[in-house]
Amino acid sequence: MVNDNPVERITDLDILYNFEASAKAAVTAYAGAAAMAYDPALRSKYADLMNLALTMHGRARSAIEKLGGTV
């Protein structure tokens, strides 16, 4: 019996690609928010969040490469 359910064919690599894309979007969003914030404390918080998202993006890319994927 062939399983045609696409949900059951999701691999770890598929999940990592989705996470990598989300982390990349978060970096962009936080950078934009930091650029628009007038309050220096708020700008700093957004910059911290951007750096955290950038770290997670790098880790996701490394995990993708480790599993044989391309980025």
pLDDT averaged over the chain?
92
Instruction: Work out how many domains the chain is built from and give that number.
Output: 1
Nearest by Cα to 13 from 54, 56, 60: 60
Mean pLDDT of 4-33: 91
Mean pLDDT of 17-38: 97
Determine, yes or no, domain membership for 71. Answer: no
Determine, yes or no, domain membership for 1. Answer: no
Instruction: Report how far apart, in Å, the C-alpha atoms of 67 and of each of 3, 24, 29 are.
Output: 24, 19, 28
Give the pTM. 0.80
Q: Which domain holds residue 58?
A: 10-66
Mean pLDDT of 17-43: 97
Determine, yes or no, domain membership for 49. Answer: yes
Determine, yes or no, domain membership for 23. Answer: yes
